[in-house]
Structure 1
Amino acid sequence: MTMTVALVAIGLLALLFGILLGYASIRFHVEGDPLVDQIDEVLPQTQCGQCGYPGCRPYAEAIANGDDINKCPPGGESTIKNLADLMGVEPKPLDAAHGAEDVKKVAYIREDECIGCTKCIQACPVDAILGAAKHMHTVIVNECTGCDLCVDPCPVDCIDMVALNPTTASWKWNFDDTPKGDIPIKMVS
């Protein structure tokens, strides 16, 4: 009998707290800033921190609050142009203090030298490194954003950043280089 009373009491308390939390989540709901969401969609989502912020979302919030739009080396000039269009400002050249835009690079782990310390796994913001403690690690090339955050923590320097040469399977059309306006089409009869 006491066990049943205790279970009913705990059940009623859980129900009461559930209703209270449900009401509080609806009553005190805070809407996000739609401009921050739009800016965050334009950013490359590498979460590398080269802009001086811990990730793309905090940088998007800073841009919405008036920070410069030219601090993202992974996004490069195309991201700066898209941000300028979105914010209604003039595009600026990439700020050299935050890095330079270069060829897409990915991490490469020389597996025979890897000691399995897992420091690179902990440093990777996008979980592109596979491995376990005291076993060799490897990089998922399609997931690697080239942020370079895994190189410094490696105690044996077995990680290199290598240029990713585009192949027919990985090449993507750069829509920022397409001509604007009408493109004349010649009809053949």
Structure 2
Amino acid sequence: MDAEAFSSQFEAHRVITATFFAHAATVPKASSQSLVTAISPKTLAARIEDLLPQTQCTKCGYPACRPYAEAIAAGEANYNQCPPGGAQGVARLAALLGKPDIPLDTTHGVERARPVAVIDENVCIGCTLCMQACPVDAIVGAAKQMHTVIAELCTGCDLCVPPCPVDCIAMVPVTGERTGWDAWSQDEADAARARHDRRLARLERERAAAEARANARQAARAAQSTQAAQSAQPGQPAQKAEQTQPASDDPEAKKRAIIQAALERARKKKEEMTKLGAGPKNTDHVSAAVQAQIDEAEARRRRLGLADDANASHPDKGDKPA
């Protein structure tokens, strides 16, 4: 190749290269600041759940906050059915859903100061029913031992009160005049949801373990029955591998007997305390509202057989003229 042809090809290559780099310079360079990670957006039910107080009280008509959030997202429930959230909770949900702010539906309960469950140690029989009812594992204790509530963990859901057979649990307001979200915080709600989720996971593990044990027992009984049939003498019927369970070994009957005995012990203990003058103190000069609560509690105790008459827990009042 002569010098003139080589010079011409070199010049053409230089022009093409310069054009390429000039075009590349006009393309914006990617920076680390402009890079984003693709994240699946939260579902509407999840965003609704984030705005609920997570007391897991079931007052909305659903077994927990998550099912209620899913019902709202599906249009099956209204967004004003959460008493613990109060008016502010309704407003939060309305803003998320793009709907008008409406009053709280009081058929599900009223907005109130947040209460904490308190167990009367003198009456508790250690039946564990309150522990089983607590949705956030805020009650500690053991069978036939006195239980106690961890106040910092209690959501004030009221669910431990109905199953108590001796009516020894009171819901005591602890936030003064603050109600709804003013009496609760997002951090407390998130912590309560985490405890509720852990409880559900624990119950599922326990259920699976119980099912596995039941299957193992059934397999063992089947193996024993087969072995007994194979070892039976020719011409003789095979012996049964298991006998009919006696009525005295019925677990439900045992449970009822234990609870009945515990109720009897609680009744006797209350009677002894009453005779010793260990009734409620500072009962004078109480407000009408507080006295109404006391009277209602005593009426429930009488229905349960924990008091012989209206003055059983107020022995000092029995001597006063009517």
TM-score, L = length of structure 2:
0.42
Alignment correspondent of 2:109:
99
**Cα offset, 1:85, TM superposition:** 0.4
- Of the two structures, which has the highest relative contact order with CA contacts closer than 8 Å and spacing of 6 or more? 1
**Cα offset, 1:32, TM superposition:** 8.8
**Percent sequence identity over matched residues?**
59
CA gap of 1:174–1:123, structure 2 versus 1, over 3 A, is closer
Q: Equivalences for 1:42-61 in 2 at 5 Å?
A: 42-61=51-70
Q: Which 4+ stretches in 1 moved above 2 angstroms?
A: 172-175
Q: Equivalences for 1:1-189 in 2 at 5 Å?
A: 34-66=43-75, 67-165=77-175
Q: What's the CA shift string for 1:9-44, capped at 9, x where partnerless?
A: xxxxxxxxxxxxxxxxxxxxxx89611111001001
Gaps of 5+ in 1: 1-30, 167-171, 176-189
CA gap of 1:69–1:114, structure 2 versus 1, over 3 A, is same
Gaps of 5+ in 2: 1-39, 177-181, 186-322
Distance 2:183 2:112 in 1: 17
Distance 2:112 2:148 in 1: 23
Q: What's the CA shift string for 1:145-188, capped at 9, x where partnerless?
A: 1110000000000000001146xxxxx7989xxxxxxxxxxxxx
TM-score, L = length of structure 1:
0.70
Distance 1:122 1:111 in 2: 18
**Cα offset, 1:96, TM superposition:** 1.0
Letter aligned with residue 70 of structure 2? E
The count of corresponding residues between Structure 1 and Structure 2 is 140
The Cα RMSD (Å) is 2.0
Q: What's the CA shift string for 1:79-136, capped at 9, x where partnerless?
A: 1110000000011111011000111111000112110000000000011101100000
